[in-house]
Structure 1
């Protein structure tokens, strides 16, 4: 059976997702890392999604690497990219180097340098043959990517790419860390609003913080489930606002072997989140599970 498989990794206050297309290609969105020791009495252990993909999933090639924006919590795992052959890179390329540098801590300079080198390395034209966003190359998966271009580049959050994955009647939206100004610009596009109308799974912008919540988005978007990729809850978490805008969906738990209707999932409480979209017997299915 052909299916779209999506994994939203638990990388604490970061962002990382893995997509396996219906025809077996591999897409990575963002490069966050996180602590998965689960026990504060144990030594800190950093989880690398890229190492996990190479070791446990036997992935050798990333057909498309998408980096929504160059904040270090979205590129922490960049040092492990050498484990893979990378076909194409999609990232916001209009941001001046000085703004990228100023927007991150000085201690993260080596990671920023690797990111800038990556942009230079993958600067060639993408042909129809190797274009990872064409449904014909992805087993029918539609990939649509939007990005604000008129917001001030000093705020890296507002340069985030927004990625939509559509397959078997379901759409998943991963919007980086966009804030009010970026959302306002993106909502000027009818095609963007149409994709929001189709969105069933919405990953909250900026880790569920108040700054990433924009009320007008939900004039067009009424997802079945909202996912927040976050670490320890802060004062600015607005999960309650997302809950009020979300319909609800049956979520399967591997550990308890039970199913319950939920509106908001958080990696902080639920761990990594798995999504499958497929068709069977003339019907479309959206299956969401937690650890």
Structure 2
């Protein structure tokens, strides 16, 4: 069976979809594109396939901006969240920071408190999947409390780290299970949209990816402009041109096809 991964152009946000080998739809983040108004809820409706699982990677609005539009008819069967995080603590933090809670974040908090507040056993989806996250005992910011998702199929590993920052990466390196995932990562999605705050050189002592993919909008921050990742990548061949870093701001929607047997293929500037 083919596994297909979609990395959507949602500017400074996150939205990834996995069509799993089992036929389930698995979403990582539900950000949207404010310039084109592309939304994952519309894409899911068009497919006529309700997501089986949504990973609440980071409880910030750029990762959840379209989540309220999944209620009620597109609500998934289950979610994956940082189980250490108390929803009320996040809500209080948001009010203290800005005086409000974004509708997408509020939907996530409602799901955590009232809908998916018990243990749910999910299928294996025909792929390996592992999740890692820190406790608020270690970190008090939403970035370093991100859920890191690792999936692997046909010996190809892809890591989605959310907005983990340098200190969070270094803490994960103490976990042999996490290091084992790094060793098996072929495609790394850059943390924190490729900004310097999400970069940690030490992880590349264990991870030599073919390529890094950055989900981000046009460069507006100085911390976006540094090419931190190409030195660590072996590169992918696009018609004789070797690419080490792909970005949604330049390459649009990116799709990865992973067959059950044989090499994987990465496509850029894909239609929706």
Per the TM alignment, residue 95 of structure 1 is displaced from its structure 2 partner at its CA by: 2.6
Q: Which residue of 2 aligns with 1:15?
A: 14
Out of 236, 254, 260, the position equivalent to 2:223 is 236
Q: Which residue of 1 aligns with 2:263?
A: 285
Change in CA separation of 1:279 and 1:152 when aligned onto 2, cut-off 3 Å: closer
Gaps of 5+ in 1: 36-43, 252-257
Structure with bigger strand share is 1
Per the TM alignment, residue 184 of structure 1 is displaced from its structure 2 partner at its CA by: 1.3
- In 1, distance between residues paired with 2:144 and 2:12? 18
Q: Which residue of 2 aligns with 1:126?
A: 120
Out of 34, 40, 43, the position equivalent to 1:52 is 43
Structure 1 position 113 matched with structure 2 position 106: yes
What secondary structure does 1:144 align onto? strand
Per the TM alignment, residue 180 of structure 1 is displaced from its structure 2 partner at its CA by: 1.6
Change in CA separation of 1:58 and 1:261 when aligned onto 2, cut-off 3 Å: farther
Q: How does 1:1-291 map to 2 (within 5 A)?
A: 2-35=1-34, 44-55=35-46, 57-59=47-49, 61-82=50-71, 83-96=73-86, 97-103=88-94, 105-120=98-113, 121-127=115-121, 131-132=122-123, 134=124, 138-139=125-126, 141-149=127-135, 150-153=137-140, 155-233=141-219, 234-237=221-224, 239-251=226-238, 260-280=241-261, 284-291=262-269
Per the TM alignment, residue 15 of structure 1 is displaced from its structure 2 partner at its CA by: 0.4
Change in CA separation of 1:20 and 1:14 when aligned onto 2, cut-off 3 Å: same
- In 1, distance between residues paired with 2:226 and 2:117? 38
Cα deviation code 1:94-131 (max 9, x no counterpart): 2342344434643544333222111121012223xxx1
User: Given that residues 148 and 162 in structure 2 are in contact (C-alpha distance below 8 angstroms), is that contact kept between their aligned partners in structure 1?
Assistant: yes
- In 1, distance between residues paired with 2:180 and 2:241? 29
Change in CA separation of 1:145 and 1:72 when aligned onto 2, cut-off 3 Å: same
Per the TM alignment, residue 235 of structure 1 is displaced from its structure 2 partner at its CA by: 0.7
User: Given that residues 61 and 102 in structure 2 are in contact (C-alpha distance below 8 angstroms), is that contact kept between their aligned partners in structure 1?
Assistant: no
Gaps of 5+ in 2: none
Change in CA separation of 1:34 and 1:142 when aligned onto 2, cut-off 3 Å: same
Q: State the TM-score, normalizing by the size of structure 2.
A: 0.90
- In 2, distance between residues paired with 1:98 and 1:23? 36
Change in CA separation of 1:239 and 1:248 when aligned onto 2, cut-off 3 Å: farther
RMSD: 1.7
Runs of 4 or more, structure 1, over 4 Å off, are: none
Per the TM alignment, residue 238 of structure 1 is displaced from its structure 2 partner at its CA by: 5.5
User: Given that residues 13 and 62 in structure 2 are in contact (C-alpha distance below 8 angstroms), is that contact kept between their aligned partners in structure 1?
Assistant: yes
Per the TM alignment, residue 156 of structure 1 is displaced from its structure 2 partner at its CA by: 0.6
What secondary structure does 2:31 align onto? coil
What secondary structure does 1:93 align onto? coil
- In 2, distance between residues paired with 1:76 and 1:21? 24
User: Given that residues 225 and 264 in structure 1 are in contact (C-alpha distance below 8 angstroms), is that contact kept between their aligned partners in structure 2?
Assistant: yes
